[in-house]
């Protein structure tokens, strides 16, 4: 998400999505002319099929979901994010449940402020910047993996990923919602793919 304000406000205000700007954002990511498909609910849009970009432009916010943006080292995205953000702050969360992998990152202007990527197989893949307040209970041993002995990390990466989603954007994909969360199934995101050649 590329933001001019608090990213949690993006889905809370009921602002109308700007379809032409959403299409332009998708085309920047796809690198070609796009065609619009049926929209997806946000809980599905966060991990679209390969070659699909889910993009929504609101006043003050832009949201982009694409598998191609899911990098094991979010720092490698900095040049791309700087181009897409155009001076705005940016927040990204990336998760893959098969690998129990989670990464998230925060950019301020063109600078990477915080990046973390973790999985039980590789441990800490990348850690850049100071840990954010919501991470403290995880690193402090307050959120251990209870169903698995000798787990490689002091927490489950997907739980941390959901906490990042809640902290940054105000929703979760798994676990217990609280009063601060909205239901991602109730938000539709425009979906695009590269235009078919005639």
Residue 11: exposure state from Cβ atoms within 10 A (0-12, 13-18, ≥19): buried
Tracing tokens 């307050």 back to the chain, one arrives at 142
Please report, for residues 5, 86, 177, the alpha-carbon distance to residue 29 in angstroms, rounded to integers and kept in the order given.
22, 14, 31
Q: Which two three-digit tokens encode residue 118?
A: 């973790």
User: Looking at residue 41, what is its pLDDT?
Assistant: 95
User: Looking at residue 12, what is its pLDDT?
Assistant: 76
User: Looking at residue 34, what is its pLDDT?
Assistant: 95
CB 58 within 8 A of CB 17: yes
User: Looking at residue 148, what is its pLDDT?
Assistant: 76
pLDDT tens for the chain, residues 1 to 198: 999 888 888 887 677 899 999 999 999 999 999 999 999 999 999 999 999 999 999 988 999 999 999 999 999 999 999 999 999 999 999 999 888 999 999 999 889 999 999 999 999 999 999 999 999 999 999 999 887 777 889 999 999 999 999 999 999 998 777 888 899 999 999 999 998 865
Q: What is the pTM of this model?
A: 0.92
CB 67 within 8 A of CB 47: yes
Tracing tokens 């002319």 back to the chain, one arrives at 33
Distance CA 102, CA 157 (A): 5
Tracing tokens 């390969």 back to the chain, one arrives at 50
Reduce the secondary structure of the chain to three states and give it as a string. CEECCCHHHCCCCCCCCCHHHHHHHHHHHHCCCEEEEEEEEHHHHCCCCCCEEEEEEECCEEEEECHHHCCCCHHHHHHHHHHHHCCCEEEEEEEECCCCEEEEEEEECCEEEEEEEEECCCEEEEEECCCCHHHHHHHCCCCCCCCCCCCCCCCCHHHHHHHHHHHHHCCCCCCCCCCCCCCHHHCEEEEEEECCCC
User: Looking at residue 16, what is its pLDDT?
Assistant: 87
Distance CA 70, CA 52 (A): 13
């Amino acid at each position: 998400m590329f933001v001019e304000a608090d990213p949690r406000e993006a889905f809370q205000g009921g602002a109308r999505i700007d379809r032409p700007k959403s299409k332009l954002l998708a085309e920047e990511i796809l690198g070609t002319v796009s065609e619009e498909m049926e929209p997806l609910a946000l809980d599905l849009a966060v991990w679209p099929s390969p070659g699909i970009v889910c993009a929504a432009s609101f006043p003050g916010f832009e949201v982009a979901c694409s598998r191609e943006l899911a990098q094991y080292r979010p720092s490698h995205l900095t040049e791309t994010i700087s181009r897409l953000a155009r001076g705005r702050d940016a927040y990204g969360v990336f998760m893959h449940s098969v690998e129990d992998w989670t990464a998230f990152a925060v950019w301020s202007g063109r600078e990477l402020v915080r990046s973390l990527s973790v999985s039980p197989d590789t441990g800490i893949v990348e850690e850049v910047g100071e840990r954010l307040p919501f991470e403290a209970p995880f690193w402090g041993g307050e959120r251990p993996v209870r169903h698995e002995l000798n787990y490689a990390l002091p927490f489950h990466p997907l739980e941390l990923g959901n906490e990042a989603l809640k902290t940054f954007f105000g929703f979760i994909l798994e676990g217990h919602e609280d009063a601060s969360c909205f239901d991602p199934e109730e938000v539709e995101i425009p979906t695009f793919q590269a235009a078919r050649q005639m």
